[in-house]
Every structure is written in C-alpha cells, then in structure tokens.
C-alpha cells in the first residue's frame, strides 16, 4: 500500500513511519512545519505538508493517489483545549473528509482507551476525551471509510514487546512502539475493518490479537 501518515512527527507517528519504511509499504510522512522534514530525510522517507487547520479540499489534494491513511496526530499536552478541539476533533474529521475526497478507503485512527465511554474519562483531560469521542463517532457513522479505530491505554516510552490484550480491559499501559505496530498491522488485517480495538500491553502477539476481531 501507499500510506500517508498524519501527525508523522509525533511520538507515535515517527514510529509508524519507521515501521512502514522497513516494510513492503510505501510511506509519505505528513508534517506541519518544514523543519520537521530532516528526521524523515535521514530515513529516506518523503514528506508532504499537511496542516490540519487547512480546509478538507486542500488536504484532499495532498492525499490524492494514496491507498490508506494512518491518523496519529494530536495537539499535545502543551496546548489548550482550543487546539485539542481544532486538531484532535476537527482536524481528524477534516482528514476523514479529505480521504473521501481523494477516493481513499482504508483509514486507521489512533484514539484513546475508553474514548467511547464517558464514565471512564479522566477528569484531568476531559477535552481530549471529548475530542476523541466525537471524532471517533464521526468516523463510524458519517463516513464510508473502511476504518479501524485503535484505543490504546496510557502511552509509555518503553520498548514494545509485540504483544497486547484487547479483551476484559480495565486499565493499563502500552508502549508507543506497540501502538505503531498495531496501526501498521491493521492496514492488512481485514478483520479490523469497521472495528474499535482497545489495547494494552499483554500476552497475545499483535497480529494474532487483531485477527480475532
């Protein structure tokens, strides 16, 4: 597949790009600032400007000729609720609209564990969960995309172990490296299409866990 990674310069996004670059897929890294290109140039990965504050029609031009999108963008913990709204919610929705404009079908969204259950939201980051809730809901019910929504637990910088749990989850952590692995693996795991996949570090190999959906 020819894959466009939105939010490629983020912690998860960089790992997704690295893993795609080491696979049989063709990858382009979507970045917001030109100075972010150096990291990807060192990997031999092309970049394209992709500002989630732009209009869907503009973003759709950039996505033309791709087979799939992985959305790994986020406003980050240093911004306020306004940017969370504009990036994690509206930016995500605009990327979905852009994918449809470009004729892309496969779309993988990195969300958050329990984003679809308000009773489980952390009070400290409610705007973040609200943004994820409505972006996920738009993807499920307002698009025709062949989507997969990944819901990782608390993200860590630990080395990934390549194994997850996806059932009976209360709380838990997961390495960003394993979230990236799951995003890449989802692209070619048809069982995940139209599914929401909660995940924390576990004991089941990622490919096996995803194939059980």
DSSP reduced 3-state for 82: helix
Identified catalytic residue from 107, 128, 129, 147? 128
Running DSSP on this structure, what letter comes out for residue 133?
H
SS3 content of the chain, % helix, strand, coil (to 5): 45, 25, 35
Cα Rg, the chain, nearest whole Å: 16
The DSSP 8-state label assigned to residue 91 in this structure reads: I
134 is catalytic: no
Q: How far apart are CA 204 and CA 213, in angstroms?
A: 13
Long-range contacts of 29-36 (CB under 8 A, 24+ apart): 29/5, 30/4, 30/5, 30/6, 30/62, 33/9, 36/8, 36/9
Residue 16 DSSP label = H
For tokens 């917001």, what's the residue?
32
Which among 125, 130, 126, 132 is positioned nearest to 109, based on CA atoms? 132
- CB of 13 within 8 A of CB of 72? yes
Active-site residue list: 128
């Amino acid at each position: 597949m020819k894959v466009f990674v939105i939010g490629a310069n983020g912690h998860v996004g960089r790992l997704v790009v690295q893993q795609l670059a080491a696979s049989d897929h063709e990858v382009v890294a979507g970045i917001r600032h030109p100075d972010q290109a150096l990291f990807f140039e060192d990997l031999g990965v092309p970049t394209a400007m992709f500002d989630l504050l732009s209009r869907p029609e503009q973003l759709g031009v950039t996505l033309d000729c791709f087979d799939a999108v992985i959305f790994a963008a986020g406003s980050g913990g240093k911004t306020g609720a306004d940017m969370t709204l504009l990036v994690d919610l509206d930016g995500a929705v605009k990327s979905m609209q852009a994918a449809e404009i470009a004729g892309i079908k496969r779309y993988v969204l990195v969300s958050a564990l329990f984003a679809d259950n308000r009773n489980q939201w952390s009070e400290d980051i409610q705007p973040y969960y609200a943004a994820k809730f409505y972006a996920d809901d738009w993807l499920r019910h307002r698009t025709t995309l062949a989507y997969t929504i990944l819901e990782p637990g608390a993200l860590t910088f630990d080395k990934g172990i390549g194994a997850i749990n996806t059932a009976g989850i209360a709380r838990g952590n997961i390495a960003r490296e394993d979230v990236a692995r799951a995003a890449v693996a989802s692209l070619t795991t048809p069982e995940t299409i139209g599914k929401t996949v909660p995940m924390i570090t576990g004991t089941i190999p990622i490919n096996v866990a995803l194939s059980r959906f």
